[in-house]
């Protein structure tokens, strides 16, 4: 497509238009799927509590998220008089922007990636670290107690789990030997016995896959780690003073991050756009379908956990991050690298 636009519009401008269309082809469906995933989340949650969930707006309540969005859009934007206005407005913009740009490096299929950079995983780690800024700026700029405490908690929680996420990523990079996400997916082709795709079933990497799944829930502050907006303690957390679309952007950004984390779980450990088995006929299904199926599978796990697991206390949360996940993932770096030194790179032989 890029070549066609470059042929008709000239090299530079053609590239610009083609890339812009590609970006919108990622960003707009992403926002649509965030709306639908909020609906799915509420439906799953309701079903597990033997309720019916949203069922009034549209068939089966499918248009519920859009009705909510329209309602929120027409509300007044309240900026508290004691707030730092500039930062107060910046925070939701930053949150949503960061939630969107992570998708630039996710491969949706063979060669279907917007920016095929060689340090894709490092980029994702950097972008996901940035999401803590939106939260802490929101909490600080509100100049109100609940948002402030929530922002402190959120920042400490996110950075705690980011440490073990970093070490988990190193285990994956050690096996794959590359930062490039397409390269990591290719490395998973036929990883187990030559026909099962994905690092996840590798006995050495399975514990890392579990830690990554749990850490991704903590990173995105999903239940059972949703201490940042624990309703019974902190009202609505760092979003307490927000209203209108500024409030909704936090909501959208949070679900965008959840989807990104689901996509990362699928990409790093379960083969991304590869079918589960390295078997010819399965490749007839386009890669993007496999990826979306995996993303939704992980999202179902997120919803399932949200519906069934009680919320952690803050000390339990920090203990899990620092005293359990960090030592395990640190030890696993040693274990995986030592195993690879012996088996793949032929040390001690």
Rule CB under 8 A: which of 146-165 touch other proteins?
Answer: 146, 148-149, 152, 155-156, 159-160, 162-163
Q: Three-state SS for 196?
A: strand
- Region near other proteins per CB under 8 A, out of 112-120, 218-226, 261-269, 296-304: 112-120
Task: Give Cα separations from 299 to 45, 111, 283 (angstroms).
Answer: 12, 25, 23
Residue 72, preceding bond cis, omega within 30 degrees?
Answer: no
- Map tokens 């490749």 to a residue: 283
Q: Does 50 bind other proteins (CB under 8 A)?
A: no
Work out which of 51, 52, 71, 75 binds other proteins, going by CB under 8 A. 75
Q: Does 251 bind other proteins (CB under 8 A)?
A: no
Q: Residue 329 Cβ, how far from other proteins at the closest point, in Å?
A: 10
- Region near other proteins per CB under 8 A, out of 111-119, 197-205, 276-284, 292-300: 111-119
Considering only residues 197 to 216 of the shown chain, the ones binding other proteins according to CB under 8 A are none
Considering only residues 316 to 345 of the shown chain, the ones binding other proteins according to CB under 8 A are 318-319, 322-323, 326-327, 330, 333-334, 337-338, 340-341, 344-345
Nearest CA to 323 among 158, 157, 160? Answer: 160
Query: Cβ–Cβ contacts within 10 Å for residue 333, how many?
Result: 16
Considering only residues 165 to 194 of the shown chain, the ones binding other proteins according to CB under 8 A are 166-167, 169-170, 173-174, 177-179
Please give the size of the binding site for other proteins, defined by CB under 8 A. Answer: 85
- Map tokens 């005293």 to a residue: 323
81-87 own/partner pairs: CB under 8 Å, 24+ apart = 82/143, 82/144, 83/141, 83/142, 83/143, 83/144, 83/241, 84/140, 84/141, 84/143, 86/141, 87/137, 87/140, 87/141
Work out which of 211, 230, 245, 268 binds other proteins, going by CB under 8 A. 245
User: Taking the C-alpha atoms of 89, 20, 291 and 258 in order, what is their torsion angle to the nearest 10 degrees?
Assistant: 0
Among residues 246 and 267, whose Cβ is nearest to other proteins? 246
Q: Does 235 bind other proteins (CB under 8 A)?
A: yes
Q: Does 17 bind other proteins (CB under 8 A)?
A: no
**x/- track of binding to other proteins for residues 254-293 (CB under 8 A):** ----------------------------------------
Q: Does 84 bind other proteins (CB under 8 A)?
A: no
């Amino acid at each position: 497509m890029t070549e066609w636009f470059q042929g008709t519009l000239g090299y530079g401008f053609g590239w610009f238009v083609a890339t812009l269309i590609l970006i919108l082809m990622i960003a707009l469906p992403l926002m649509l799927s965030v709306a639908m995933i909020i609906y799915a989340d509420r439906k799953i949650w309701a079903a597990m509590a033997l309720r019916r969930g949203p069922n009034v707006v549209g068939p089966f309540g499918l248009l519920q998220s859009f009705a909510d969005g329209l309602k929120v859009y027409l509300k007044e934007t309240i900026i508290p008089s004691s707030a730092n206005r500039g930062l107060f407005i910046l925070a939701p913009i930053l949150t949503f922007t960061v939630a969107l740009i992570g998708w630039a490096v996710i491969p949706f299929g063979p060669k279907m990636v917007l920016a095929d950079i060689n340090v894709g995983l490092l980029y994702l780690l950097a972008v996901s670290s940035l999401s803590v800024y939106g939260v802490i700026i929101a909490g600080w700029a509100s100049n109100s107690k609940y948002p402030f405490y929530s922002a402190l908690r959120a920042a400490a929680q996110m950075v705690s789990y980011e440490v073990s996420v970093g070490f988990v990523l190193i285990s994956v990079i050690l096996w794959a030997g590359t930062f490039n996400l397409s390269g990591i997916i290719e490395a998973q082709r036929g990883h187990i016995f030559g026909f099962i795709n994905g690092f996840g079933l590798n006995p050495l990497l399975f514990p890392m896959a579990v830690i990554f799944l749990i850490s991704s829930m903590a990173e995105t502050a999903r239940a059972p780690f949703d201490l940042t907006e624990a309703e019974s303690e902190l009202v609505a957390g760092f979003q307490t003073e927000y209203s209108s679309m500024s409030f909704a952007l936090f909501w959208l950004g949070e679900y965008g991050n959840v989807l990104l984390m689901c996509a990362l779980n699928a990409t790093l450990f379960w083969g991304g756009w590869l079918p589960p088995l390295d078997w010819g006929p399965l490749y007839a299904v386009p890669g993007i379908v496999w990826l979306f199926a995996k993303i939704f599978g992980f999202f179902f796990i997120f919803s399932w956990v949200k519906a069934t697991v009680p919320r952690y206390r803050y000390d339990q949360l920090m203990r899990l991050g620092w005293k359990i996940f960090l030592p395990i993932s640190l030890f696993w770096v040693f274990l995986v690298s030592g195993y690879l030194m012996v088996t793949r790179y032929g040390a001690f032989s």
